[in-house]
Structure 1
Amino acid sequence: MARFNKRVAMVTGAASGIGKEIALRFAAEGGIPVIADLNLDAAQATANEIKSKHGDAFAVSMDVTDEAQVEKGVADTVAKYGKIDILVSNAGIQIVHPFVDFPYSDWKKLLAIHLDGAFLTTKACLKHMYAAKYGRVIYMGSVHSKEASKLKAPYVTAKHGLIGLAKVLAKEGAEYNVTANVVCPGFVRTPLVEKQIPEQAQQLGITEEQVIKNVMLKETVDGEFTTTDDVADAVLFFAAATNNVMTGQSLVVSHGWFMQ
């Protein structure tokens, strides 16, 4: 039997990048990914790609900072499939500025997407998970859940916050067979990271190649980027857990950038 036979997994920010890879992998192992994304056309394209490979998938439009949209996306999913087994809270953005002149509006926007989004999507899914006595919640953290980098005050703050959120849910959800864990990737060459390379080069006054070698990958053991496949491996590991033994944990996937 496939590892995720008919399990319904909502993945936010799943129209591209890490989220899309996670959705494709769930489908390949018998799961039904719900592609929740701001860009409904792109979400539908990902769902169609999965269906073309004889899988099932469902696309929903979702701004994770909008409670009404989140509740509707979850309700539509439950109306279609009768349940929601897994949540992967993956939607995120990056904005870089020195702390001293970081615009407050950008601070609020980034925290809203990463933290409010995780809270709202989890809350919407939990009532269904609790009723079913089954749920697997995985938050997309970062090495920045453990470490800090210059120019990333709200991102580092938000990613640290997700670990606290997971720990609370791990304790509250245990009696309902709901686990909560955090996957913490290093730098992955997604559009989010590609955008940062020239931005950091400009902010730090160095070349793009120096940003990659001396900033992003400096602390890795082999100078290699983490891949979307690496991250999906870790997410599916937590999602497949059969009991509460793995809950409240954070797993770093970073070529040794952060060791614990």
Structure 2
Amino acid sequence: MNLNDKVCIVTGGASGIGKRIAERYVADGAWVAIADLKLEAAQATADELTAKGPGKAMAVAMNVTDEKMVNDGVAAVVAAWGGVDVLVSNAGIQIVHPLQDFPFEDWKKLLSIHLDGAFLTSKAVLPHMYKAGSGSIIFMGSVHSKEASELKSAYVTAKHGLMGLSKVIAKEGGKKGVRSNVICPGFVKTPLVEKQIPEQARDLGISEEEVVSKVMLGGTVDTEFTTVADVAEIAWLFAAFPTNALTGQSLNVSHGWSMT
């Protein structure tokens, strides 16, 4: 299995988990579009990864909640490289509040980025995958696709929703050679998670050290954070796996934080 010369789009690919996935793909010979809200950051990442090779990367400006920007971004990739073999819908944010205090605008914003983004990017790439008779769509879920935590009503709802969307795509795409799967990481120490630590400490009335040791890592088997490299390896597996034997599935990458 390999990704040599495969055309891949990674949303939120300029930093964090998305960047590490893009790096893993380029290292395997893939051509990767770094689709990100921040074009300058996307271009910097694309330049960095292309210099490393053996694959290459390009930058695409994309707000995943904007249908025209999504369609234009996918069209630019197809125009440059001829198609799309892999989509990693990775763009996401986190907002935490007790449910009774959760601003409706924040609820809509989070669900839009996670769910509308997954829907719009999938809708845009599927015709190209169907035409080619193959493809892999990968959603960045979470252990919260299967579990729940306090303060995360919007996030848990969105991540559960991705599981359903992925299964529908797997059903619809199976006869056309398109697979769809969900990666479910545990806590990965990215800026997104770093930001949560003081917020959860405030809302739960505990120390930041307790947020890490009890809330984030207390359910693991070894009190270890999941790494971006861990997640990237599973993203490579889902992208490179050659048959429908692996579709409609979800895989936890969480040091045992969730075992469902």
Look up the match of 1:103: 103
The 1-side partners of 2:65 and 2:118 are apart by: 9
Number of the residue aligned with 1:61: 61
Alignment of 1:114 with 2:84, yes or no, is no
Aligned to 2:184: 184
- 1:5 equivalent in alignment to 2:34: no
SS for the counterpart of 2:56 is: coil
Q: Tell me what 1:206 maps to.
A: 206
Other-structure match for 1:193: 193
Preserved CA contact (<8 Å) 2:26 2:50: no
Unaligned runs of 5+ in 2: none
Question: 2:34, 2:44 → 1: CA distance?
Answer: 10
Per the alignment, residue 21 of structure 2 pairs with: 22
- Tell me which moved more, 234-243 or 67-76: 234-243
Q: Distance in 2 between matches of 1:50 and 1:250?
A: 28
Quote how far apart the aligned CAs of 1:254 are: 0.2
2:44 aligned partner? 45
What per-residue deviation string (whole Å, max 9, x for no partner) do you get for residues 39-76 of structure 1?
A: 00000000000121133101000000000000000000
Which runs of at least 4 in structure 1 moved beyond 2 Å after TM superposition?
none
CA distance in 1, matches of 2:153, 2:205: 19
Tell me, in whole angstroms, the C-alpha distance in 1 between the residues paired with 2:31 and 2:209: 39
For 1:216 and 1:121, the matched residues in 2 are separated by 30
Q: Distance in 1 between matches of 2:49 and 2:234?
A: 21
Instruction: With the length of structure 1 as denominator, give the TM-score of the two structures.
Output: 0.98
User: For residues 132 and 240 of structure 1, what CA distance do their matches in structure 2 show?
Assistant: 16
Could you say what secondary structure the match of 1:50 adopts? helix
Measure how far apart 1:175 and its partner are.
0.9
CA distance in 2, matches of 1:112, 1:96: 16
> In 2, Cα distance between the equivalents of 1:154 and 1:76?
32
RMSD across aligned C-alpha pairs, in angstroms? Answer: 0.8
Any unmatched runs of 5+ in structure 1? none
Q: Cα distance, 1:185 vs. partner?
A: 0.1
Aligned pairs for 1:108-147 within 5 A: 108-147=108-147
In the other structure, the counterpart of 1:35 is 34
Q: Provide the C-alpha distance between the structure 1 equivalents of 2:204 and 2:126, rounded to a whole number of angstroms.
A: 43
Q: Distance in 1 between matches of 2:257 and 2:49?
A: 33
Distance, in Å, in 2 between the alignment partners of 1:53 and 1:182 is 28
- Conserved? CA contact 2:217–2:257, under 8 Å: yes
Q: Distance in 2 between matches of 1:64 and 1:29?
A: 26
Question: What SS does structure 2 have at the residue aligned with 1:189?
Answer: coil
The answer as to whether partners of 2:3 and 2:28 remain within 8 angstroms in 1 is yes
Q: Which residue identity does 1:29 align to in structure 2?
A: D
TM-score (norm 2): 0.98
Map of 2:169 onto structure 1: 169
Q: CA deviation at 1:216?
A: 0.6
Aligned residues: 259
Q: Give 1:206 shift.
A: 1.3
| Aligned 8 A contact 2:62 2:70 in 1 | yes
Which residue of the partner structure matches residue 74 of structure 2? 74
Q: Could you tell me which amino acid in structure 1 is paired with residue 108 of structure 2?
A: K
1:233 aligns with 2:259: no
Distance in 2 (CA, whole Å) between partners of 1:25 and 1:38 is 21
The whole-number CA distance in structure 1 between the counterparts of 2:205 and 2:44 is 39
In 1, distance between residues paired with 2:33 and 2:25?
10
